[in-house]
């Protein structure tokens, strides 16, 4: 497994390994790196030399940019700070290629970039759900792999600890969009390090990641044993399969109305729960209680 250093995450507010329905994220084999909402500049999460840029096909969505882009970089693993936690004989870092998506590039083949260098402009892709904000998608392929296919990237880990936040399901709406609401809780109050990464904790104190449960499966950002049972707000979420979590069958409700789900991630900025809820009628200032109930027909997207 490739381990990303904290320096790779430094330019970004949030990250997620699992909050996507696309196969590139299966078992945490890619990471989405989210910027501040007002920032349109895409910064490179890796050091290396640009191998190729190309325009690729994406789903046609009315809110999305007309084109999607793929940037391939030959990675300088040492300058990036990548570690390999597997058997040394299988270390893939020599010849490693990074795949970056959702960036309209202003770099070209042969350009050298360092971690944090601007490489283009962030675009809203047709691969995004309407509640998804701008981010850089990053995955890595061995030298011998097909670098253009969606599947085949190496599993990733991050060299940061993510602290779990307790939550009772309640909060006040602080932001709304047509397809989501953001609540003011849980907060990072009481965290000793104001720049530490935090995430929503299960009832057992395990940090959860992914689209709960509209993407069918998610994962954990805390060390946890295989086959460990997880719950949230007293409801069964499923059992870990390694760090993956195939979600159990349940629905998420906001004030008794069925929502699509919860959008989960790790953040080093302000924290609050994002409830995915197209067609909601909530407004800023509304008090909301989220509950989870077993379901015979759960929402599944993608």
Q: What is the model's pLDDT at position 174?
A: 97
What pLDDT is stored for residue 257 in this prediction?
98
Ranges under pLDDT 50 in the chain: none
pLDDT of residue 68: 94
In this prediction the pTM is: 0.95
pLDDT of residue 183: 98
Q: What is the CATH number of domain 2-158?
A: 2.70.70.10
Three-class secondary structure assignment of the chain: CEEECHHHHCCCCEEECCCCCCHHHHHHCCEEEECCCCCCEEECCCCEEEEEEEEECCCCCCCCCCCEEEEEEEECHHHHCCEECCCHHHCCCCCCEEEEECEEECCCCCCEECCCCEEEEECCCCCCCCCCCCEEEEEEECCCCCCCCCCCCCCEEECCCEEEECCCCEEEEEEEECCEEEECCCCCCCCCCCCCEEEEECCCCCEEEEEECCCCEEEECCCCCCCCEEEECCEEEEECECCEEECCCEEEEECCEEECEEEECEECCCCCCEEECCCCCCCCCCEEEEEEEECCCCCCCC
Per-domain residue ranges of the chain: 2-158, 162-294
Q: What pLDDT, on the 0 to 100 scale, is given for residue 192?
A: 61
Residue 36, pLDDT score: 79
pLDDT of residue 58: 87
């Amino acid at each position: 497994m490739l381990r990303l250093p904290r320096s790779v995450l430094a330019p970004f507010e949030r990250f997620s390994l699992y909050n996507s329905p696309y196969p590139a994220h299966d078992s945490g084999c890619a990471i989405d790196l989210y910027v501040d909402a007002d920032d349109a500049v895409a910064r490179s999460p890796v050091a290396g030399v640009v191998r190729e840029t190309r325009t690729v096909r994406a789903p046609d969505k009315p809110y999305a940019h007309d084109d999607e882009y793929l940037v391939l970089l030959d990675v300088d693993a040492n300058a990036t700070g990548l570690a390999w936690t597997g058997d040394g004989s299988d270390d893939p870092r020599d010849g490693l290629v990074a795949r970056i998506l959702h960036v309209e590039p202003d770099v070209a083949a042969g350009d050298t970039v360092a971690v944090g260098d601007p490489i283009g402009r962030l675009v809203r892709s047709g691969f995004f759900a309407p509640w998804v904000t701008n981010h850089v998608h990053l995955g890595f392929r061995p030298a011998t792999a097909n670098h253009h296919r969606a599947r085949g990237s190496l599993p990733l880990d991050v060299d940061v600890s993510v602290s779990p936040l307790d939550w009772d399901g309640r909060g006040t709406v602080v932001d709304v969009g047509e397809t989501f609401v953001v609540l003011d809780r849980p907060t990072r109050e009481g965290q000793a390090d104001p720049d530490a990464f935090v995430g929503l904790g299960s009832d057992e104190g395990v940090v959860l990641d992914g689209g709960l449960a509209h993407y069918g499966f998610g994962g954990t950002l805390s060390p946890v044993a295989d086959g460990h049972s997880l719950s949230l707000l007293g409801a069964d979420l499923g059992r870990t399969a390694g760090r993956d979590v195939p979600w159990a069958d349940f629905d998420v409700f906001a004030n008794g109305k069925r929502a699509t789900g919860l959008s989960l991630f790790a953040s080093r900025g302000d924290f609050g729960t994002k409830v995915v809820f197209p067609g909601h009628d909530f407004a800023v200032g509304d008090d909301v209680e989220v509950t989870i109930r077993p379901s015979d027909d759960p929402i599944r997207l993608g």
